[in-house]
Amino acid sequence: MNATDRFNTFLERAKETDTYWTEKAIIEYTEEMVAQMEQQEVSRTELARRLGKNPAFVTKLLRGNNNFTFDTVVRIARALEMEFVPHMKPVGWQTRWLDCSPANPVEKAEPLGIKKKAYAKEVPVPVTGEDNETFALTA
């Protein structure tokens, strides 16, 4: 068995543990946090100020070696003028986010700026709106 096969076996075993999925969530949240900070040009010091914490607290969060609480993730999101949206999905399914502003409601949204005619086939995707009304979005 070569190194690639050993690694793939190790990875498949790791995916069977809660620790793997916890660490994956922490990494993904931290990456989203950094992306929002960069997009908004918010420094670590500024985020710390908004959170009422010292810059070392933000540095610790960005290292990714901590277990976020919902309180912390919500406070960070709000400090970045964002909303934290938890989501669960069936195992093996993919999630595709489509955030739409009130000026560009979901009925007019084009995924990744690609026109619908570029798709070979339109597939209905169930979407739940703010009032829990479910409708189909074609993508």
Residue 133 domain-assigned (yes or no)? yes
Q: Is 109 exposed, middle or buried (0-12, 13-18, 19+ CB in 10 A)?
A: middle
Contact predicate 51/37, CB 8 Å: no
Range of the domain at 125: 106-138
Instruction: Check pLDDT > 50 for residue 64.
Output: yes
Quick one: 74 and 110 in the same domain? no
Torsion of Cα atoms, 123 then 138 then 135 then 84, to 10°: 100
Query: Looking at residue 18, which CATH number applies to its domain?
Result: 1.10.260
pLDDT, residue 107, reads 62
Residue-wise pLDDT tens digits, 67-113: 889 999 999 999 999 999 988 889 888 888 777 777 776 665 555 44
Q: Is the pTM here over 0.85, yes or no? A: no
Residue-wise pLDDT tens digits, 27-63: 999 999 999 999 999 999 999 999 999 999 999 999 8
Residue 87 domain-assigned (yes or no)? no
Give the C-alpha separation, 29 to 16, whole Å. Answer: 21
Residue 90 domain-assigned (yes or no)? no
Residue 122 domain-assigned (yes or no)? yes
Q: How many domains does the chain have?
A: 2
Quick one: 72 and 124 in the same domain? no
